[in-house]
Structure 1
Amino acid sequence: MAKRNNENLSIADALKEFVETNKLEKGLDKVHVAEAWANLMGNGVNNYTTAIQLERDTLYVQLSSSVLREELSYGKEKIIKMLNENLGKDLIKKLILR
């Protein structure tokens, strides 16, 4: 646990310090990536998405439709760019559709 500071901190700063101290950033990144995928891709793609997994800088997305997988494979670079912009950092370098 972080040591107690006598200065006043905002809630946002206290949470940020807690996340950094306990090394929770990677887990939060995984959650944020799944949320970003759901928001950006919409209901049409989300209905066929069965699993999303972030490992290092690679995003693995499992789809139940081979036709959709083929369609999305043509726009991988654009999808990566959109997700990184939504996340606010270059977290994803490679996208693998399964």
Structure 2
Amino acid sequence: MSELSMGDALKLFLQKSRLKGSMQAMQITDIWAELMGKTIARYTDKIQILNRTLFIATSVAPLKNELLFQKEKIIQRVNEALGENLITEIVIR
């Protein structure tokens, strides 16, 4: 049996468990302001990841429109921050 570091063992565990999505959802809410800036973070209410889709909620119409135009860039930034190609679609509510 090969030896794994604690970090590698945790990554392996998360990949095989249902906790992975929840952990990544918590991670994205923690870094959302860093990724998108404080102003956007202030006006987005709820950030969720479900089945490779990032859900963003906002009540500000101009911001919603701007986020729609920036979908590809947001996907790229989030995937880079998470270290894997997890997000394939964005839904803005």
TM-score of the pair, normalised by structure 1 = 0.77
Structure-to-structure mapping, 1:81-92, within 5 angstroms = 81-92=76-87
Higher Cα radius of gyration = 1
**Consecutive unaligned residues in structure 1, runs of 5 or more:** none
Report what 1:34 is aligned to: 29
Report how many aligned residue pairs link the two structures. 93
| Structure 1 residue 35 displacement after superposition | 2.4
1-structure distance, mates of 2:38, 2:29? 14
Report what 2:62 is aligned to: 67
Name the % identity.
38
Residue deviations 1:62-84, cap 9 Å, x none?
01211111112111111111111
Residue deviations 1:19-68, cap 9 Å, x none?
45654222111112222322201110011011111110111100121111
Q: Which moved more, 1:9-18 or 1:73-82?
A: 9-18
For the residue of structure 2 that corresponds to 1:47, the secondary structure is helix
CA RMSD of aligned residues (A): 2.1
**Consecutive unaligned residues in structure 2, runs of 5 or more:** none
